[in-house]
């Protein structure tokens, strides 16, 4: 009788343990020789920047293959639809309000009991998102020290029609984040994605936008401010294949900001 032994999943395309090693020469220069980004320092500027050409296409495609194979089966739906009472509960004209609505799939890397954390360890993704160069990159972009003891880590996947509705990510009940915190987005889109846009406020209007449905990109936010992500559009005939991956790190300032940065 032949005994069948389950072997661990072998993934040929893994993440480097240091985030700097994911970057090309241009990306590594941002860590080695930081430059000043005025959007994080000038009054009246919306503190967000989207950077391209920091990860080579071949590297991005290997990352997508690893995420598809190791993480996609472990994702959970995060679907928050528009509540009916947002309309049926209205009593006055133009008193409409809408909480954050979202439709994505996601997995957290923060819980020690998470299957996604096991996948993260086996692929190197967890180590990369815990690495000092991951933290250092965020610090170099915003130009301020961040808490190095702990930060949030999450994997998000957008498919056709998935989106995040308007929200501001303000946390007034948090002692460390009530006056601002930093999100770092590492983004990968496969070639079935046609477009997806980040829309954000500028001087009181949701009037700025940036294409994020590219092969790779890196975005850094100093929150809070109003923003949303439009529904992902797939290339015709490839609707079932389209995926945009988002690797999210959330950092607190060290020390926490004394005044709300908005």
Any domain includes 216: yes
Mean pLDDT of all residues belonging to the chain: 94
Phi, psi of 39 (to 5 degrees): -60, -20
Any domain includes 235: yes
Q: Determine the average pLDDT of the residues in 113-123.
A: 89
- Placement of tokens 């439709």 in the chain: 103
Residue 113 has pLDDT above 70, yes or no: yes
Q: Are strands 216-223 and 193-195 parallel, antiparallel or unpaired?
A: unpaired
Any domain includes 39: no
- Placement of tokens 């495609």 in the chain: 61
Write down the pTM of the prediction. Answer: 0.93
Cis peptide before 54 (omega within 30 of 0): no
Any domain includes 220: yes
Q: Determine the average pLDDT of the residues in 212-216.
A: 98
Domain coverage including residue 58:
45-78+101-169+176-252
Indicate which CATH number applies to the domain containing 162.
2.60.120.620
Any domain includes 30: no
Q: 2 falls in which pLDDT band (50, 70, 90)?
A: very low
């Amino acid at each position: 009788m032949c005994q069948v032994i389950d072997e661990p999943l072998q993934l040929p395309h893994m993440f480097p343990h240091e985030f700097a090693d994911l970057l090309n020469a241009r990306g590594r220069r941002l860590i080695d020789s930081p430059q000043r980004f005025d959007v994080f320092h000038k009054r009246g500027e919306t503190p967000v920047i989207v950077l391209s050409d920091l990860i080579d296409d071949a590297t991005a495609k290997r990352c997508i293959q690893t995420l598809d194979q190791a993480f996609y089966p472990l994702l959970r739906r995060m679907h928050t639809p528009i509540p009916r009472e947002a309309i049926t509960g209205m009593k006055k004209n133009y008193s409409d309000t809408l909480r954050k609505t979202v439709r994505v799939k996601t997995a957290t890397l923060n819980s020690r009991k998470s299957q996604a954390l096991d996948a993260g360890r086996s692929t190197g993704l967890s180590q990369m998102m815990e690495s000092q160069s991951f933290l250092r990159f965020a610090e170099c972009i915003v130009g301020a020290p961040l808490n190095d003891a702990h930060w949030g880590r999450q994997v998000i996947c957008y498919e056709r029609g998935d989106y995040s509705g308007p929200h501001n990510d303000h946390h007034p009940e948090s002692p460390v984040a009530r006056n601002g915190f930093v999100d770092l987005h590492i983004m990968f889109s496969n070639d079935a994605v046609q477009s997806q846009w980040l829309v954000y406020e500028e001087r009181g209007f949701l009037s700025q936008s940036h294409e994020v449905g590219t092969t790779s990109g890196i975005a850094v936010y100093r929150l809070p401010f109003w923003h949303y992500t439009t529904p992902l559009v797939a290339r015709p005939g490839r609707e079932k294949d389209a995926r945009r991956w988002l690797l999210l790190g959330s950092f607190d300032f060290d020390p926490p900001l004394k005044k709300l940065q908005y």
